[in-house]
Amino acid sequence: MTTLVHHETGGGVATVTLDSPSNRNALSVRLLGELERALQDAIGDEAVRVIVLTGTGPVFCSGADLKEQAPARAERPDDAPVTASFPGIMSLIWQSPKPVVCRLNGTARAGGLGLVAACDFAIAPDSATFAFSEVRLGVVPAMISVTVLRRLDPRAAAEYFLTGEVFDAARAAEIGLLTRTVPAEELDATVARYADMLLRGGPEALAITKRLVREVPGMTVDEGMRRMAELSAQRFTSAEGQEGLRAFMQKRPASWVPSAGNPAT
């Protein structure tokens, strides 16, 4: 049976690749199962510091595999729908202690945009297009809204969720769906640059900072100041924080940086 998701690791970076171009990397039950396992392996691998999620072919992900959502299948109570493990996969990416970079090899639609929004970084070629096409099928962007609405400007979310209109990569970056859009020939170099920058951060510090980005805006100012003062003190006295300070004073790379002999290399 053909493998639909490939997982390769090197230099501290795990690359997870959707490889089902015949159906535009649609989120079939089998692809979702393989994707979940690949992500779990990458997150659990101590040698992995950064995860890159990408695809093959001209489309990153077209969303749900509609052939598996046909009424004849949906009526069978023992037949898990395509979305059975999709919320878990988005949560895996969102909550991953390791930074996740989405390298969009091309266009994304519907459920594929839930994956894009779950990642910490999303970098796409300027030729890519996007659409929340659910309403045009008489369904709704329900599950993906959990991650997407945390990224998009509210006016833009209403515009594209309700109309299903196709928009380009420049607009996707403008409204917060993408981190950056680049010419196709610069995609790999840009993703590599982000991975290199992330490898320079302390693993514990990166995991904690990921949580800060999401949790601090929901705190009151007083609560935020109190909790962040405590956290700051803890991190300065932590083993990782002390190593980072020593490395800075000694003008050398910290022990976790691959060039400094980190086991991840």
Q: Which residues are catalytic?
A: 134
Token representation of residue 27: 């989120």
Task: List C-alpha distances in Å: 170 to 61, 77, 145, 190.
Answer: 19, 43, 21, 16
Specify the long-range contacts of residues 139-147, CB closer than 8 Å, at least 24 apart: 141/110, 143/83, 143/86, 143/87, 143/90, 143/111, 143/114, 144/90, 144/110, 144/111, 144/113, 144/114, 144/117, 146/87, 146/90, 146/114, 147/90, 147/94, 147/114, 147/117, 147/118
3-class secondary structure, 106: coil
